[in-house]
């Protein structure tokens, strides 16, 4: 998909461009930057993660409920109801828009859009999951991106339950001093919830590119620690009660991810197989004993 985007640049005759991507699109944008860093003027990664295990959503009761309803959704109305909760914060949905709640307005728009395009097929969903699951930016690719010298903005909603901000921040730290972290109040579609702040962050990024701003003036992340300092910090973090990154506190999350992955591998194919077998009609075949042995 990154190569498709590069082919589009070639078709348009654009030697260089500002590359912006959201969610899986941000993964594609990051890969594009690693493939042709000399063609990137700036890179904006909105609600991104590093792929693989980092793609799994936040582990809590709300996410489990959403995951169950997502898998069971069969109508545009059911899918729209789930999408709203994954895309926006509750506060945003409960705001008044004229005489209606924003939730009501968006729900109608989502149902209309899904009805027009049709529900996402299982094949499409599995392809999307596979693309995110296999995505990875190696350290070599990180160094290629950093050495190109263009500024990077990692923009994220701190209440995103699909792409957790912890992983976005970790990616930004890998890309420093070229990266700036923009942490906003919002969910997965933070560009909708906080459009003015996101647009300003993008304008700042483009301006930094045009002015060829010093990376150390652009970057707002803490300076990288040495290997020894990281070990001490990790130890201190692990012994804190309720730490989000300690092994003990993340053990339930790891178990949940394993169960979710096994469910995707085993249960969904079985259900699909049942539906396929149910649609088949029995056919009587006449054969001789020799045909059976063959």
d(C-alpha 77, C-alpha 114), whole Å:
9
Beta strands in 115-243 (DSSP E): 152-157, 179-184
Longest dimension (CA), the chain: 83
CB atoms within 10 A of CB 81: 18
pTM of the predicted model as reported, rounded to 2 decimal places: 0.75
Q: Which residues pair with 153 in a beta bridge?
A: 44, 180
Point out which residues pair with 184 in neighbouring strands. Answer: 157
CA neighbor of 109 nearest in space, from 77, 61, 133, 66: 77
pLDDT value for 245 = 46
**Topology (CATH) of 2-56+130-224:** Rossmann fold (3.40.50)
Tokens of 191: 């560009």
Query: What pLDDT does residue 279 have?
Result: 55
| DSSP, res 265 | I
At 46, which helix (H) or strand (E)? strand 40-46
- Mean pLDDT by runs of 10 across the 294 residues of the chain is 97 97 97 98 97 84 84 91 94 93 95 92 89 94 97 96 94 96 96 97 98 95 62 47 45 54 50 54 48 40
Neighbours of 248 (CB within 10 A): 9
The pairing of strands 100-101 and 96-97 is antiparallel
DSSP state of 94: T
Domain residue ranges of the chain, discontinuous segments joined by +: 2-56+130-224, 61-123, 228-278
The per-residue b/e assignment along 46-72, b for 16 or more CB within 10 angstroms, e otherwise, is bbbbbbeebbbbebeeebeebbeebee
């Amino acid at each position: 998909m990154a190569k498709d985007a590069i082919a589009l640049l070639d078709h348009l005759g654009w030697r260089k461009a500002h590359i912006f991507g959201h969610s899986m699109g941000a993964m594609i944008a990051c890969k594009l930057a690693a493939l042709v860093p000399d063609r990137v003027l700036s890179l904006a990664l909105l609600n991104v993660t590093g792929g693989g295990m980092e793609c799994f959503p936040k582990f809590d009761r709300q996410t489990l409920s959403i995951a169950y309803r997502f898998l069971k959704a069969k109508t545009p109305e059911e899918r729209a109801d789930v999408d709203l909760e994954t895309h926006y914060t509750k506060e945003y949905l409960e705001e008044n828009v004229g005489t209606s709640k924003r939730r009501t307005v968006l729900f109608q728009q989502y149902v209309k859009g899904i009805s027009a395009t049709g529900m996402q097929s299982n094949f499409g969903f599995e392809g999307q999951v596979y693309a995110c699951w296999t995505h990875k930016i190696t350290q070599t690719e990180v160094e290629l991106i950093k050495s190109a010298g263009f500024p990077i903005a990692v923009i994220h909603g701190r209440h995103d339950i699909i792409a957790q901000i912890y992983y976005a921040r970790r990616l930004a730290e890998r890309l420093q001093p070229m990266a700036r972290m923009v942490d906003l109040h919002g969910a997965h579609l933070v560009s909708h919830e906080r459009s003015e702040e996101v647009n300003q962050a993008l304008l700042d990024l483009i301006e930094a590119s045009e002015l060829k701003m010093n990376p150390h003036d652009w970057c707002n992340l803490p300076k990288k620690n040495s290997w020894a300092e990281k070990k001490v910090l990790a130890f201190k973090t692990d012994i804190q009660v309720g730490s989000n990154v300690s092994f003990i506190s993340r053990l339930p999350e790891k178990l949940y991810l394993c169960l979710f992955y096994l469910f995707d591998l085993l249960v969904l194919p079985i259900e699909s197989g049942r539906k396929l077998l149910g649609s088949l009609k029995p056919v009587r075949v006449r054969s001789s004993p020799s045909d059976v042995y063959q």
